[in-house]
Amino acid sequence: MIGPSFPGVLRAAQDGDETAFAELWRDAQPVLLRYLHVLSGPGFAEDVASDTWLHVVRGLAGFRGDERAWRGWLVTVARRRAVDAGRLRQRTPTVPWEPGDEPPPAPAAETLVLTALDTRAALDLVARLPRQQAEAVVLRVVAGLEPRQVAELLGTSPGAVRVAVHRGLRRLAQELAQEQGGQAL
Amino acid sequence: MTRHLLRRRRDRDLAPLGDPALAPLHAALTAEPAPTEVAGEAEALAAYRAVSWGRTAVPARRRALWRPAVLSSVLTTALATKVGAAAAAGTVALSGAAAAAYTGNLPDSLQDVAHKTIKAPAAKDKAPKAPPAQAVGPDAAGPAAWGLCQAFAKEKPAQDQAQDQAQEQPNGKANGKAKGKAKERSVAYRNLVRAAGGEDKVEAYCSSVPRPSDEPGTPSARATKAPKATKAPASQAPRSARP
């Protein structure tokens, strides 16, 4: 997050200041890529993010809001671009981590625990959650959106978002704890 | 304090992040950007620059920028801009041309086109560039009589036009539409009529004009004073009058 200087940076970017726009981009692009990694898969994240910025640049002059609203707008555009491109991740495991049900691309949890957790590997792990839980976790933890914003984006209630995030995180913690215990033995 | 409690309540869903088992995951999800995550900055700035400068969309997508469809779109936009500029310049030029047409200052061929398209005055209606008084025309009672009669008898329309051009358009440029009333306005024809004693007597007059022995078969109708008109013999003028 850019912080207190965000209003000035945004205003400068809207007035054509490239440096200001670069600051906005550097702050938000990793968030978009991580969200899209979970939403669309790593193979499409970059393309969808580029489409997203194209639309954002076109609408930049008309944006009004604080930094949290800015983030919310970006991920909203990104999600729409992913949907329009038909690049929502197809795999939506309803019962993740059942024995023998692990998707091949995901890294082994023990590997994640024993080594410094790579961002990409962590995103792969989150992507194994049910889609709504995965999206809610990324939008809350990575993008820093409020439950209300996530609820609007996902078409649900803030309460449902909280539940989804809580359950998703608990499931991840449980899995990682089990793997840690297994490694300790 | 109240705000802090509200935030804690609002963020209760994030409470599991306090679990030590999730610490590596949390750290990885919120880690500083990897170089690969900010590698497309130049392309994003290019798109931003394009939109800021020209309000024209150029995709920031690194790979897609050079895809044919995207490149075609960018080029089409650029071309449309140039075409628009050219059209604007053309509008200005046409405005000037229209003004020239209505004041009769276009070349004859263009004036004729303007006459047909925008009802500007016809070339034949233009004010003559040389005062009519200066164009005396051929002497129909003298050595030019034979040529005038030959032209009158054989190529009346062509003669009319040639004479009209010789007298009214010293630049020799053609006006293929100036045949109708041109005959009456032709100085050479008027001279011939005058020499014959009337329009209905021209044929009779011509029948009495002897063929000059020194210039057999050559039209002798020449403008006597209009310098440029003398360059175009009456029998050749129609040829040059055709586009």
Note whether A163 contacts B: Cβ–Cβ < 8 A.
Answer: yes
| Helix, strand and coil percent figures for chain A, each rounded to 5 | 70, 0, 30
What per-residue string of b and e applies to B157-186 under the rule 16 or more CB within 10 Å gives b?
Answer: ebbbbbbbbbbbbbeebbbebbbeebbebb
- B28, closest residue in chain A (CA to CA): A119
Higher pLDDT, A79 or A114: A79
Query: Which pLDDT belongs to residue A134?
Result: 96
Note whether A77 contacts B: Cβ–Cβ < 8 A.
Answer: no
Residues B74 and B172 in one domain: no
Instruction: Please list every residue in chain B whose beta carbon sits closer than 8 Å to the beta carbon of residue A123.
Output: 29
Work out whether the CA dihedral A135, A138, A141, A146 comes out positive or negative. Answer: negative
Residues A68 and A128 in one domain: no
Structural domain count of chain B: 2
**What percent of chain B shows pLDDT beyond 90?**
13
pLDDT in tens, B32-49: 999 999 999 999 999 999
Task: Provide the pLDDT confidence category of residue A45 given band limits of 50, 70 and 90.
Answer: very high
Tokens at residue B162, please? 């040639």
Query: Which pLDDT belongs to residue A85?
Result: 85
- B35, closest residue in chain A (CA to CA): A30
Residue B207: pLDDT over 60? yes
Q: How far is B36 from chain A (nearest CA, A)?
A: 9
End position of a domain, from candidates A84, A118, A152: A84
Q: What is the pTM of this model?
A: 0.53
Query: Which pLDDT belongs to residue A65?
Result: 96
Task: Provide the pLDDT confidence category of residue B177 given band limits of 50, 70 and 90.
Answer: very low
What's the rounded Cα separation, in Å, for the pair B114 and B98? 8
Residues A171 and A119 in one domain: yes
Q: Do A22 and B26 touch (CB under 8 A)?
A: no
What's the rounded Cα separation, in Å, for the pair A176 and B187? 112
Q: Do A54 and B26 touch (CB under 8 A)?
A: no
Task: Provide the pLDDT confidence category of residue B51 given band limits of 50, 70 and 90.
Answer: confident
Tokens at residue A177, please? 């704890």
Note whether A46 contacts B: Cβ–Cβ < 8 A.
Answer: yes
Residues A56 and A120 in one domain: no
ipTM value, please give it.
Answer: 0.84
Range of the domain at A162: 109-184
Query: Which pLDDT belongs to residue A156?
Result: 96
Task: Provide the pLDDT confidence category of residue B194 given band limits of 50, 70 and 90.
Answer: confident
Q: Do A50 and B28 touch (CB under 8 A)?
A: no
Structural domain count of chain A: 2
- Residue matched to tokens 């006597």: B224
Note whether A138 contacts B: Cβ–Cβ < 8 A.
Answer: yes
Range of the domain at B69: 64-102
What's the rounded Cα separation, in Å, for the pair A46 and B63? 10
